[in-house]
Structures are given as structure tokens and as C-alpha cells.
Amino acid sequence: MIQVEQLVKRYGERIAVAGISFRIEPGEVVGFLGPNGAGKSTTLRMLTGYLPPTSGTIKIGGIDALSDPIGARRQIGYLPESVPLYREMRVEEYLRYRARLKGVARAQVSKRVDESLQLATITDVRKRIIGQLSKGYRSRVGIADALVADPPLLVLDEPTAGLDPNQIRQVRDLVRSMAGKKTVILSTHILPEVESSCSRVLIINQGQIVGEGAPGELRSAGQGAQVFTLEGRGDRERFESVLKAVDGVKAIIDVAAMEGDGLRIRIDAAAGPVDERIFSAVAAAGLVLRGLKREQASLEDVFAALTTREPDVSAEPEAKAEPEAKAGEKS
């Protein structure tokens, strides 16, 4: 459905998107994940034809978006990040206008508007003036607009930003219900969103794709390192010295005192059967071990690892500060 090759967007000296390539197959729900300022919105704006790319190619449903922009845009329902709407119009009036603008046949307009109102669950506010609606309703009006011409591809730029938890769930359910029927690409910096609704994730940072795969795959990719939580009883200093001596233990992250003289210790360890070695070392030292558990690496850890990683290990120290500096900018 989408084929992007070596897409670059440059604003003078600043490179917003630094040559990214990816493919999205029909029916996929793909999450575009990255910190603020990573280039998510810029990429989506190039896909939808709002921004002309500096270089690279974009194909939407086999149509070259740069040589036939109108043909490509016909296939896209787009929800911009800021959800721009004409505040003075009524919801239904606005959707009818958008449907006509997107070339929906006159006879089909009413049917399409009704359907999109239903899908976005805003049928109850169809006669209301958009400017008087709450933010949650307004963003669903934006979603209804994306759906109104029944396009094969939906591009949703942070569709759940500013919504309350109930509304977020509704939007996620809606996105999930599209799986298989439509191709969806949504951007977000909220991880549970990706885990709950996407079949594939593209992680973007500093204008480049730094990770790609199903949410599950990415999670296991992040398990090169592991974190154990140990619960035991005994002298704290003895525990620490015994653990530090175990082969594979990199550091003690923190130690928390529990009821009585119980302790909970979190251990940062290298890959491998370090848990077995910890077990026998603690037992040999005569300390009491109540439990030893490996924490599952969350997508959050993967994300943090991928997006804060230095571009080059041998690079000069400034490289480290760069991700933080960019995080403040808006994409």
C-alpha cells in the first residue's frame, strides 16, 4: 500500500527526515513511534502530500505521489496532528463538505456521512457546531473526516492526543476494527497504544528508522540485557558483596528494605543463565533466598534503548546530549 524510498526532508541546514525507506502492505496497522521531534509528523505530511519531500519517492497504492498527487491523495484519509476544523460549521455540514471535496458522488454523500459518524461514535453531536464541542469530540470529528470518503489508507497523526482514557479506548478499538479492511498508519509517542493496536511498529528517531518489527519481536530484541528482582532475607552488605561477585552481574540497581529484615534487590545482568548462578551463589553463602524473578523487558525499555542510543559509540561526547535537545522540538 505504501512504498517509501530514501525519503529526505531538509529545512535549510536542519534535516528533519534523513532518508527513510519502508513498505506497508495492505491491511496492516502500523505504528509510527518516536519521541517528539523525531520526524514522525514530517514523514506523515510528506506521505499525505502536504509537504513536498526534498528527495526520495513515495508510492501510495502503486501511484507515484509526486507525479500524480491528486490520485495518491484520493486514497488517503488523513487526520493531522492539530485536528484542524472549521469551528463555525456544524459537524454534519462539515462532513458533507469534506465528502464532496474528496469526490464522493452526490447520491452517496448522506450514506457515507452517516457511516463515518457512526464509526467515530459522534452521531449524537451531528447537529452541533464544531467550535462548541469538547476536544475529544473534535478529534473524533477529525477521524470521521478521515473515514468519510472510505479511503483504503488511513493516516492518523497522534489520534489519541488530548483524549481521556475512555475516548482513547474507543479510538484504539476503532483502529483495531480497521485491521484487515484498511491500511492504517498511526503515529504516537505512547507505547501501550502501539502494543494494543498495531501489527507492526516502525521506531523513528532523529529522522531515521532505528527499529522495526512486531511489538513482540521488538520486545525480545530488547532483551540482550536483563533485569532480575531478588527477594531475600539477611544482611544487606553481605547480599551486595555476594551478588557483585557473581559472573554476569553488572550492577545492583537498587536495594529496598522490606518487612522484618527482608530485602528486595534489583540486579542489572548480562545475557545468559545469570539467574542460575545468582541462585547457587546466594545459597552457598548461606543467605535466605525467597524469590528470583526476571523482569520482562517492556516495549518502553526497547524504545528508550533505541531512541537514546548514541549514533556511533566512538563519537564525541556531544552526541549524547543530542536526543534530549531534539526532544523539545515539535515534529
Binding region for other proteins (CB under 8 A)? 45, 48-52, 70-71, 73-74, 76, 78, 80, 82, 84-89, 93, 97-98, 100-103, 145
Closest C-alpha among 280, 258, 254 to residue 267:
254
Residue 76 or 278 having the CB closest to other proteins: 76
Q: In what order do the strands lie in the sheet with 226-233?
A: 249-257, 262-269, 226-233, 288-295
Q: How far apart are CA 322 and CA 153, in angstroms?
A: 34
Would you say 84 or 162 has its CB closer to other proteins? 84
Distance in angstroms (rounded) separating the CA atoms of residues 92 and 89: 8
Shortest Cβ 69–other proteins spacing (Å): 8
Least distance in angstroms from the C-beta of 53 to other proteins: 10
Write down the least CB distance from residue 142 to other proteins, Å.
8
CB of 2 to other proteins, least distance (A): 15
The least CB distance from residue 274 to other proteins, in Å, is 51
Q: Which residues, including other chains, have CB under 8 Å from residue 211's CB and lie 6 or more apart?
A: 201, 202, 203, 218, 221, 302, 306
Q: Are 81 and 157 in contact (CB under 8 A)?
A: yes
Q: Is 142 exposed, middle or buried (0-12, 13-18, 19+ CB in 10 A)?
A: buried
CA separation for the pair 239, 241 (Å, rounded): 6
69 vs 234, which CB is nearer to other proteins? 69
Q: Where are the beta strands (DSSP E) in the chain?
A: 2-11, 14-24, 29-33, 55-60, 63-64, 76-79, 153-157, 183-188, 200-205, 208-213, 226-233, 249-257, 262-269, 288-295
- The residue among 76 and 201 lying less far from other proteins, judged by its C-beta, is 76
Query: Looking at beta carbons only, is 67 or 166 nearer to other proteins?
Result: 67
CB of 84 to other proteins, least distance (A): 3
Nearer to other proteins, 73 or 172 (CB): 73
Measure the CA–CA gap between 112 and 155, rounded to whole angstroms.
Answer: 19
* Alpha-carbon span 246 to 100, nearest angstrom: 70
Nearer to other proteins, 53 or 211 (CB): 53
Question: What is the closest distance, in whole angstroms, from the C-beta atom of residue 51 to other proteins in the complex?
Answer: 4
